[in-house]
Chain A
Amino acid sequence: MIEVEALTFRYPRQKTDTIRGLSFQIEKGEIFGFLGPSGSGKSTTQKLLTGLLKNFSGNLRLLGKDASAWAHDFYNHIGVGFELPNHFTRLTGLENLKLFASFYGDSGTSQPLTPMELLDLVGLTDSARQPVSEYSKGMKMRLNFVRALINNPDLLFLDEPTAGLDPLNARNLKNIIKELKNQGKTIFLTTHNMYDADELCDRVAFLVEGELKLIGSPDELKRQYGQKTIEVITPGTPEDKQGVSHQFSLDNLGTDQAFLDLLNSGPIESIHSQEATLEEVFIQTTGISLL
């Protein structure tokens, strides 16, 4: 779906490259997380991938064609959900969707969901005829999200889709993203939210100062950068309610006598593997905190 090779970009009148030799591929049906601190080049990369910025060096193939070969019909096949709400605030939510749906016309792209069905998908049915100026930030973000789906795109770019949403709506939205993946959609997800990335993404890429530092699946990275141990917590003394921690290596765990004795000796409160979190992987790799 997306093939990027040695992608480099510099803004006019800047002395250094904003994007430095990025290379990666995204397969059809994959959710690809693009993670990095503010100013790392995530938005610039997204602008390059969505054709808003030209004059780059390197190779960029989108939906099986060289980026330079695409004209405006490229936008019939993609959907873009922006980080900040961007709507015509004097129009209603329904009018906003109808307006943008009218840009597509009979492009040949199937459009299984009507604007009203899309609003229903994110719980905005009751507010469909309300001016967007009266929407809360969360409602605007949900409207942002469904607008990106209005043309039933094959390739979806989502920038911080759960930002500003309450846990219930964030859960609903993540379920929709998973459903889109099941339908074979490819999703390029830009986020700071490591929990979202961990839950949703097949693979993640860490971007720092325009360079890709690491790419891999969240599970693979967490295992690779975590400790190969487990932590067993047994009950502590009545004064120490936190319990007692016991560490065991995963190597030959089944024959580790101390571990087996502990299991047989009394109650166990919890057993945890010691894999790293995605945030820890990021910090270990880059030395930079995402927040």
Chain B
Amino acid sequence: MSSLTRKFLSLLLWEFKLQLRYYFWIVGLVMTLVWFGILSLMPSELSALWVPVLLFVDTCTIGVLFVAGMLYLDRSQGTMDVIAVMPIATSTWILSRILSLSILCSVFALIIILVRAESVVWVRAVPAVLLSSALYTSLGFLIACPFKKLMDYFLVMALTIALMNLPIFGYFEVFDSAFLWLLPTQPVMKVLAGSLGEMTTMDFTFAMGLLLVWLGVINFFCTKAFSVYVSQRMGA
């Protein structure tokens, strides 16, 4: 195992430890139980229709909120300053944070699928949920970077989430437009729906490919935003 891989795995383990100490896993569990409660109130045919939407909203909420929370904690504790003078690339640290939070989101999303979904294509569902969580977590990281106060972040986050949730209308065929494909969350909705329902392999692969491209683009900007809004403003 190379030194970089070992460092990355070690970082990942510490991220999980921090998530546990900050009760993120307990909050995730409580949210999942709330979703179960909501789903149990629905008739089963309605529940099947709503599970992909619920996953879409769940991964979004957990990812976007938790990553901002972690970033805020790092800022308030000053630990970001220390990480900046450690022998790891910023992009590696960002990747470990996004991946660890994505795994957290995915675990709860997959529990929902396991318990409530009826026709699951697991080879699609697992990567789809993981990449969807990663996209929302990355998006949350990108939006959170410029804000020093969590409250300032919430307003922008709410507007962003409102915009990013538009693909739900496409899913319910209330409003479908090519414009939705400009949103990074459109492939998220597609792959989640495609994991739990009918979708051709080509369509699913296309949506996954697009999701990967968006992930790459957003992570590129995450590193840039971190450098501009966090690293260079440390102690200022």
Residue numbers of A with Cβ under 8 A of B are 11, 43, 47, 50-53, 72-76, 78, 80, 82-91, 95, 99-100, 102-107, 147, 151
- Quick check: B7 and A86 within 8 Å, CB to CB? no
Given contacts A52-B232, A89-B77, contact A103 B86 (CB under 8 A): yes
User: Is the pair A86, B79 in contact by a Cβ cutoff of 8 Å?
Assistant: yes
Return the contact of A52 from the options B10, B21, B85 (Cβ within 8 A).
Answer: B85
Across the two chains, which residue of chain B brings its CB closest to A144? B82
- Interface code B50-91, partner A: CB below 8 Å = 1, 0 otherwise? 000000000000000000000000000111011011111100
* B11 contact from A83, A102, A151, Cβ within 8 A: A102
Check: B201 CB closer than 8 A to any chain A CB.
no
Out of A52, A74, A87, A107, name the residue touching B3 (CB < 8 Å). A107
Contact of A78 with B85 in the complex, beta carbons under 8 Å: yes
Residues of A within 8 A of B81 (CB): 82, 86
Please tell me if the beta carbons of A105 and B18 are within 8 angstroms of each other in the complex: no
Decide if B77 touches A53 in the complex (CB within 8 Å): no
Q: Specify which of B14, B85, B235, B236 is in contact with A102 (CB 8 Å cutoff).
A: B14
Contact A75 B86 (CB under 8 A): yes
Min CB gap B83→A, angstroms:
8
Whether B234 sits at the interface, judged by CB under 8 Å, is: yes
Chain B interfacial residues counted at CB < 8 A: 26
- In the assembled complex, the Cα of A118 lies from the Cα of B89 at a distance in Å of 26
Partner of B78 from the list A11, A84, A90, A107 (CB cut-off 8 Å) is A84
Q: Max chain A CB contacts within 10 Å: which of B10, B85, B231?
A: B85
Q: Which residues of A contact B10 (CB under 8 A)?
A: 102-103, 105
Measured in the bound complex, the distance between the Cα atoms of B186 and A173 in whole Å is: 57
Known interface pairs A91-B21, A105-B3. Does A99 touch B14 (Cβ–Cβ under 8 Å)? yes
Residues of chain A lying within 8 A (CB to CB) of residue B236: 11
B149 at the interface (CB under 8 A from A): no
Per-residue contact bits, chain B 120-161, to A (CB 8 Å; 1 contact, 0 not): 000000000000000000000000000000000000000000
Given contacts A53-B232, A84-B78, A90-B21, 4 further A-B contacts (CB under 8 A): A47-B234, A72-B88, A91-B21, A147-B82
Judge whether B87 and A75 touch: CB under 8 Å. yes
Q: Which residues of chain A are near B77, meaning CB under 8 Å?
A: 86-89
* B89 lies within 8 A of A72 (CB): yes
A86, B87: Cβ atoms under 8 Å?
A: no
Name B7's closest neighbour in chain A (CB-CB): A105
Chain A residues, Cβ within 8 Å of B21: 88, 90-91
| 22 A-B pairs (CB sep. < 8 Å) | A47-B235, A52-B84, A52-B231, A53-B232, A72-B88, A74-B87, A75-B86, A78-B85, A84-B78, A85-B78, A86-B81, A87-B77, A87-B78, A88-B21, A88-B77, A88-B79, A102-B7, A102-B10, A103-B87, A104-B87, A105-B3, A107-B3
Shortest CB-to-CB span from A42 to chain B, Å, is 10
Residue ID in chain B nearest A46 by CB atoms:
B235
* A278, B231: Cα distance in complex, Å: 34
Interchain CA distance A129-B214 in the complex, whole Å: 43
Residues of B within 8 A of A99 (CB): 14
CA–CA, A100 and B80, complex, Å: 12
Residues on B with C-beta less than 8 A from A72 are 87-89
Given A47-B235, A107-B3 in contact, is the A80-B85 Cβ separation under 8 Å?
yes
Chain A proximity of B26: nearest CB distance (Å): 13
Asked if B169 lies at the interface with its beta carbon under 8 angstroms from chain A, I say no
